């Protein structure tokens, strides 16, 4: 898809950014898709930032909160996602601090309970391992998962 002039491209990118928070990398990819010449890209990015349509800090916080509260991801997976969007690591760490510790631990417990409830028989060592692997795949830290898992009965009797 290509747009013929700068005004058309700017209009399309405005609506792209207005729909939801975007990272600079996503906007650059959109500009490439629209066929914006290289010399326009930096100028358009600066204009979007000046008009508050584009803000990597706001995107990072929005991304972290959305992935945590909606998709129930842990910090590791959220951090990887932010870095894959071209977000600076310090900005990504700042966004992760927006997630409260109490909420974080509560989500780990909730996911353990949810996973335990999905097993057909009383959870034993195999089910504990499956739960551990599930939480790791969601991006939670080992040092936080293990103490929470130990709070439950995994005897399988």
pLDDT digits (tens, 9 = 90+) for 63-101: 999 999 999 999 999 999 999 999 999 999 999 999 999
Domain identity same for 108 and 135: yes
Which residues make Cβ contacts (< 8 Å) with residue 62, sequence separation at least 6? 20, 21
- Among the listed residues 46, 50, 48, the one whose alpha carbon sits nearest the alpha carbon of residue 13: 48
Q: How many domains does the chain have?
A: 3
Domain identity same for 76 and 109: no
Domain encompassing residue 76 = 56-96
Determine the Cα–Cα distance for residues 42 and 50; give it in Å rounded to an integer.
12
Instruction: Write out pLDDT tens, residues 105-152.
Output: 999 999 999 999 999 888 899 999 999 999 999 999 999 999 999 999
Cα dist from 78 to 33, 111, 121, 142, whole Å: 26, 17, 32, 15
Query: pTM, whole model, 2 decimals?
Result: 0.90
For residues 100 and 69, the answer to whether their CB atoms sit within 8 Å is: no
């Amino acid at each position: 898809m290509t747009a013929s002039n700068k005004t058309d491209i700017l209009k399309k990118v405005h609506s792209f950014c207005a729909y939801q928070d975007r990272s600079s990398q996503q906007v650059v990819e959109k500009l490439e898709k629209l066929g914006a010449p290289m010399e326009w890209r930096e100028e358009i990015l600066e204009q979007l930032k000046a008009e508050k349509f584009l803000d990597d800090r706001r995107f990072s916080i929005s991304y972290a909160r959305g992935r945590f509260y909606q998709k129930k991801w842990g910090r590791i997976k959220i951090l990887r996602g932010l870095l894959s969007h071209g977000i600076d690591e310090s900005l990504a760490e700042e966004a992760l601090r927006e997630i409260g510790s109490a909420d974080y631990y509560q989500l780990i417990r909730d996911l353990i309970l949810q996973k335990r409830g999905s097993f057909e028989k009383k959870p034993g060592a195999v089910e504990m391992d499956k739960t551990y692997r599930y939480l790791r795949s969601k991006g939670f830290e080992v040092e936080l998962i293990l103490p929470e898992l130990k709070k439950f009965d995994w005897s399988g009797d």
